[in-house]
């Protein structure tokens, strides 16, 4: 019961009181036993924040509130809702900030976490604080390391060399996102490429499954689309072109064939390319190798060696991002070498050009300038021939090409295949070359294996030990965690290896297998790995002997509803799906998709742009909550616009929701002690309509319109200064409770309820009969233009409506214009009279 019977609405008193009560009663916290045997479990998840030094920003609060509203709604519908929150505190972001302010992250992070926790409690989310987590805590990353070991054992983790962006001034590896048009985003120095041995997860093995399963998921369509694009499936063929004049040494054979077969033909080395247009092979007039391609040296003739060499060096110096700028002019160098086009039998020159990327396909292409825009541009630049092999509906076989033609049509200048439609030609030509063992149909994906190595300090050490005798040896599970040591000088340096490589007493160890001297892996893992499995950990944080308990996991997962930002549409969500699938295949889970339903929230805009420190348009939430209370702030944020689209934040706008809560208080408090008398019939009808609308819209995240409906209802209750009856306002409280949990609790208690409103299935039912109007206003149109309205009983007959309409002077006047030709009657809505 409320102990403070204040007559006026004092948000901070109400909110402090209820937050203390939830805490004392454990309203939102589950015991381990409760987690083991839920009856109607609902796992309500939101993306956990990175605990920055600035504290929670409005964008965080917006996302969390939207998710919390959904969770509280489910709770009021009788589900047991598990709504955890935690902290994603590892990573380059924290590390750079720590370097900047000169405080060690091991001190910075706990302070930030404490501040975030205070703010998160203040906004009134139904978080289970007994099951929170922090990815930087050894109790958590021990299991992140365990996860690495499971993938390693399952053959899904491997070490290989790969190019990375390197900033020579910051002396560190940069992610692609940190390179802005070839320059380091922080210091503007030119970024270069380095090759470093790193750990990869074989996510590409799962490409097709990741793509196929999307069909089964209830996710925002935009998110699914982003994943499809990222996976980038394309169907085509691997084609093999005999290389002329090159001795097929065993070294070369080692490096050329991706498909692992048919490396030579009649003494010729075969060059493999991937194409989606095998139908255009008769138009392949030259070949292009990526500068890094292993065959470049072998193909280059002595006359060309110097030019090729300098071109390759230039390409190597360029960063990976600037390489991919499309506006860039096409550049390249002739190697001096030739291949034979297996379709035409012609000898065609082999070039090196940076528009061909080593990481896609085989790093080599057959160039068909007539029917590929890039090849066309290149051919133009270097004055290479551009034959036509596809004719569109308006073309002849000899119609010249002044741009690449990529549309549909039939094959021309293609020997026996002339006249075939492009799609037919693809299959026929592939089959023809397959017979000669020069082709194999192939699906290629844009998706790359996931590089999880970071040459940085602030992350979980990868649990591997290198032994001269045994090679790379996984750290035994019972020796986890491999604790990240406290290192005062954690600044990255020019060596290209992690700062941990400077900590001899840490990396020197003994081989777990043979006991001889060995060295720990000094790279740490990607932050995305921390967040790729955190939802599995939440319900099991009470347990320290497993990553996640099988029984608890079966009860609560997969996640019923996940809400977060679409900026994670690809990486985080794709990695989480991959890890879940891998864990299922490895026997640790019995489901393979982690998030049954996912919705992306919109962005909050202020003064025309996204809130950011540099724009100076950020809103600091604490003073607003101080002044108006968390309930008002929550309500305002949810009222701004459709949750999935975001909204425009205006400082003065908060007055609307604040006034609404004050009026609600003033309406309910005076009637709280009265016995329930029957609602006024008109008000009751509106009440049932409101319940119907809110019940339908809240689960669909239609928050702004639900709030508008409640405002409208309160306006009806208070119309012309009338005093509410108890039965009119009591059902409104649970409708509002997901948005404004504190005031809802307070008013619920004042209405005489002893238990928390969230402790029972208190969502009200509506009676469809009671939502029905008995009289309606019918719009009357003449020739489609509104000329008046008439009021009549619901479901009135057309004749009655017509008679009434004719009696309307303004309608009658317009009917004089001619003869009534047609009557369109939509019962209870509209009558349209067509005259002419």
Q: Which of residues 40-99 bind RNA (CB under 7 A)?
A: none
Q: Tokens for 647?
A: 């909204």
Does 356 contact RNA by CB under 7 A? yes
User: According to CB under 7 A, which one of 52, 406, 617, 789 is a site residue for RNA?
Assistant: 789
Q: Tokens at residue 403, please?
A: 């741009």
Q: Does 795 bind RNA (CB under 7 A)?
A: no
Q: Which two structure tokens, joined as six digits, stand for 258? A: 């991706």
CB of residue 175 vs RNA: minimum separation in angstroms?
Answer: 11
Three-state SS for 561-614 is: EEEEEHHHCCHHHHHHHHHHHHHHHCCCCCCCCCECEEEEECEEEECCEECCCC
Interface with RNA in residues 809-828 (CB under 7 A): 809-810, 814, 822, 824, 826
Between CA 373 and CA 170 the distance in angstroms is: 38
Closest separation in Å from C-beta 289 to RNA: 10
736 binds RNA (CB under 7 A): no
Does the footprint of RNA cover residue 836 (CB under 7 A)? no
Residue 502 interacting with RNA (CB under 7 A): no
Q: Which stretch binds RNA (CB under 7 A): 122-130, 341-349, 673-681, 698-706?
A: 698-706
Nearest to 87 by CA among 29, 139, 133: 133
> Of 613 and 822, which CB lies nearer to RNA in the complex structure?
822
Which secondary structure element, helix H or strand E, spans residue 527, and what is its range? helix 527-531
- Per CB under 7 A, the list member of 306, 567, 799, 800 interacting with RNA is 567
Instruction: Please identify, using beta-carbon distances, which residue of 152 and 219 lies nearer to RNA.
Output: 219
Which residue number, 359 or 767, has a Cβ lying nearer to RNA?
359
Which residues 259-278 are close enough to bind RNA by CB under 7 A?
274-277
Q: Using the rule CB under 7 A, is 712 a contact of RNA? A: yes
Q: Which of 152, 355, 405, 538 binds RNA (CB under 7 A)?
A: 355
Sheet (strand 820-826) strand order: 785-793, 775-782, 830-835, 820-826
**Residue choice 324, 436, 723, 775 for contact with RNA (CB under 7 A):** 324
**Strand 775-782 with 830-835, pairing:** parallel
Cβ atoms 461, 482 nearer than 8 A: yes
Residue 13 binding RNA, by CB under 7 A: no
> Residue 222, interface with RNA (CB under 7 A)?
yes
Q: Is 342 helix (H, G, I), strand (E, B) or coil?
A: coil
**648 part of the interface to RNA, by CB under 7 A:** yes
HEC sequence for 690-733: HHHHHHHHHHHCCHHHHHHHHHHHHHHHCHHHCCCCHHHHCCHH
> What's the chain's Rg over C-alpha atoms?
34
- Of residues 213 and 276, the one with the C-beta less far from RNA: 276
Task: Give the span between the Cα atoms of 249 and 243, in whole angstroms.
Answer: 13
By CB under 7 A, name the one of 721, 768, 816, 819 that touches RNA. 721
Tokens 């997901």, located at residue: 738
Q: How many residues bind RNA (CB under 7 A)?
A: 88
- Nearest CA to 811 among 828, 831, 829, 836? 831
Contact 697, 40 (CB under 8 A): no
> Contact region for RNA (CB under 7 A) — 127-135, 349-357, 388-396, 456-464?
349-357
- Which range of residues in 249-257, 538-546, 647-655, 735-743 is near RNA by CB under 7 A? 647-655
Coil, strand or helix: which one is 29? Answer: coil
Asked if 233 and 207 count as a contact pair (C-beta separation under 8 A), the reply is: yes
Residue 102: how many other CB atoms lie within 10 Å = 7
In whole angstroms, how close is the CB of 808 to RNA at the nearest point?
9
Shortest distance, position 198 Cβ to RNA, whole Å: 19
Pick the closer one to RNA by CB: 132 or 783.
783
Closest approach of RNA to the CB of residue 690, in Å: 11
Smallest distance from RNA to CB 349, Å: 17
CA–CA separation, 244 and 305 (whole Å): 17
Residues 457-476 that bind RNA (CB under 7 A): none
* Least Cβ distance, residue 706 to RNA (angstroms): 10
- Candidates 360, 382, 506, 591: give the one binding RNA (CB under 7 A): 360
**By CB under 7 A, is residue 294 in contact with RNA?**
no
**With CB under 7 A as the contact rule, which of the stretches 59-67, 386-394, 395-403, 711-719 interacts with RNA?**
711-719
Give me the phi and psi of 185, to 5 degrees please. Answer: -65, -20
Q: Work out which of 36, 209, 663, 753 binds RNA, going by CB under 7 A.
A: 663
Give the length of the chain: 836
Chosen residue from 558, 629, 647, 738 binding RNA by CB under 7 A: 647
Among 374, 395, 428, 597, binds RNA (CB under 7 A): 374
**Cα(105)–Cα(112) distance, rounded to whole angstroms?**
10
Among 78, 294, 642, 764, contact with RNA (rule: CB under 7 A): 642
Beta strands in 758-829 (DSSP E): 775-782, 785-793, 820-826
């Amino acid at each position: 019961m409320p102990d403070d019977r204040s007559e006026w609405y004092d948000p901070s008193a109400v909110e402090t009181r209820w937050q203390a009560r939830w805490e004392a009663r454990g309203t939102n916290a589950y015991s381990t036993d409760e987690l083991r045997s839920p009856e109607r479990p609902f796992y309500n998840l939101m993306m956990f924040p990175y605990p920055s030094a600035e504290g929670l920003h409005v964008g965080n609060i917006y996302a969390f509130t939207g998710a919390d509203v959904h969770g509280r709604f489910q709770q009021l519908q009788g589900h047991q809702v598990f709504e955890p929150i935690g902290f994603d505190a590892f990573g380059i972001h924290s590390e750079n900030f720590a370097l900047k302010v000169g405080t060690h992250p091991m001190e910075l992070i706990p302070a930030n976490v404490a501040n975030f926790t205070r703010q998160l409690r203040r906004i009134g989310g139904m978080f289970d604080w007994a099951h929170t987590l922090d990815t930087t805590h050894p109790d958590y990353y021990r299991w992140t390391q365990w996860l690495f070991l499971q993938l390693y054992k399952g053959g899904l983790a491997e070490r290989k060399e790969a190019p990375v962006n390197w900033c020579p001034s910051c002396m560190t590896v940069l992610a692609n996102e940190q390179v802005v048009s070839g320059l380091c985003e922080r210091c503007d120095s030119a970024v270069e490429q380095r090759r470093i041995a790193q750990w990869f997860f074989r996510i590409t093995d799962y490409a097709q499954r990741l793509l196929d399963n999307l069909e089964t998921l209830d996710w925002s369509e935009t998110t699914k689309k982003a994943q499809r694009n990222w996976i980038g499936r394309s169907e085509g063929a691997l084609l093999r072109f005999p290389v002329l004049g090159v001795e097929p040494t065993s070294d070369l054979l080692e490096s050329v064939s991706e498909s692992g077969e048919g490396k030579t033909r009649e003494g010729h080395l075969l060059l493999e390319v991937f194409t989606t247009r095998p139908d255009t092979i008769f138009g392949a007039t030259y070949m292009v190798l990526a500068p890094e391609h292993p065959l470049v040296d072998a193909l280059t003739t002595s006359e060309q060696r110097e030019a090729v060499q300098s071109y390759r060096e230039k390409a190597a110096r360029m960063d990976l991002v600037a390489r991919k700028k499309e506006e860039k002019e096409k550049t390249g160098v002739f190697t001096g070498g030739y291949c034979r086009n297996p379709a035409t039998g012609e000898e065609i020159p082999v070039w090196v050009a940076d528009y061909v990327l080593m990481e896609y396909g085989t790093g080599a292409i057959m160039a068909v300038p007539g029917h590929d825009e890039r090849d066309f541009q290149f051919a133009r630049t270097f004055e290479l021939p551009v034959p036509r092999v596809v004719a569109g509906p308006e073309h002849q076989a000899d119609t010249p090409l002044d741009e690449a033609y990529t549309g549909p049509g039939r094959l021309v200048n293609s020997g026996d295949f002339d006249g075939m439609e492009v799609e037919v030609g693809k299959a026929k030509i592939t089959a023809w070359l397959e017979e000669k063992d020069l082709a194999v149909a192939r699906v290629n994906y844009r998706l790359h294996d996931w590089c999880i190595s970071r040459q940085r300090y602030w992350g979980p050490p990868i649990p591997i030990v290198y032994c001269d005798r045994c090679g790379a040896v996984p750290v035994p599970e019972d020796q986890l965690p491999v604790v990240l040591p406290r290192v005062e000088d954690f600044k990255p340096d020019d060596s290209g290896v992690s700062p941990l490589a400077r900590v001899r007493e840490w990396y020197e160890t003994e081989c777990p297998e043979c006991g001889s001297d060995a060295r720990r892996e000094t790279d740490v893992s990607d932050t995305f790995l921390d967040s790729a499995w955190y939802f599995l950990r939440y319900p099991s944080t009470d347990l320290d002997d497993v990553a996640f308990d099988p029984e608890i996991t079966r009860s609560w997962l997969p996640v019923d509803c996940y809400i977060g930002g679409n900026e994670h549409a690809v990486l985080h969500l794709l990695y989480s799906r991959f890890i879940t699938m891998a864990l299922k295949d490895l026997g640790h889970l019995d489901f393979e998709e982690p998030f049954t339903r996912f919705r992306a929230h919109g962005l909050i805009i202020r003064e025309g742009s996204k809130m950011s420190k540099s724009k100076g348009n950020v809103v600091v939430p604490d003073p607003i909550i101080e002044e108006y209370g968390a309930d008002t702030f929550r309500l305002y944020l949810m009222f701004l616009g459709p949750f999935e689209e975001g909204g425009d934040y205006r400082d003065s706008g908060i007055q609307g929701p604040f006034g609404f809560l004050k009026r609600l208080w003033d309406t309910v408090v005076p009637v709280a002690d009265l016995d329930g008398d029957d609602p006024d019939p008109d008000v009751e009808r509106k009440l049932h309509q409101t319940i119907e609308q809110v019940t339908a819209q809240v689960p669909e995240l239609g928050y702004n319109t639900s709030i508008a409906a409640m405002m409208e209802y309160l306006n009806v209750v208070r119309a012309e200064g009338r005093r509410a009856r108890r039965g009119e306002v009591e059902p409104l409280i649970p409708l509002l409770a997901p948005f404004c949990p504190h005031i809802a609790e307070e008013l619920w208690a004042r209405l005489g309820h002893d238990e928390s409103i969230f402790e029972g299935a208190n969502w009200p039912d509506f009676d469809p009969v009671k939502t029905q109007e008995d009289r309606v206003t019918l719009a009357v149109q003449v020739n489609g233009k509104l000329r008046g309205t008439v009021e009549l009983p619901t479901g009135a007959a057309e004749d009655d409506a017509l008679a009434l309409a004719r009696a309307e002077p303004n309608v009658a006047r317009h009917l004089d214009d001619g003869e009534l030709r047609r009557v369109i009657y939509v019962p209870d809505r509209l009558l349209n009279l067509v005259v002419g």
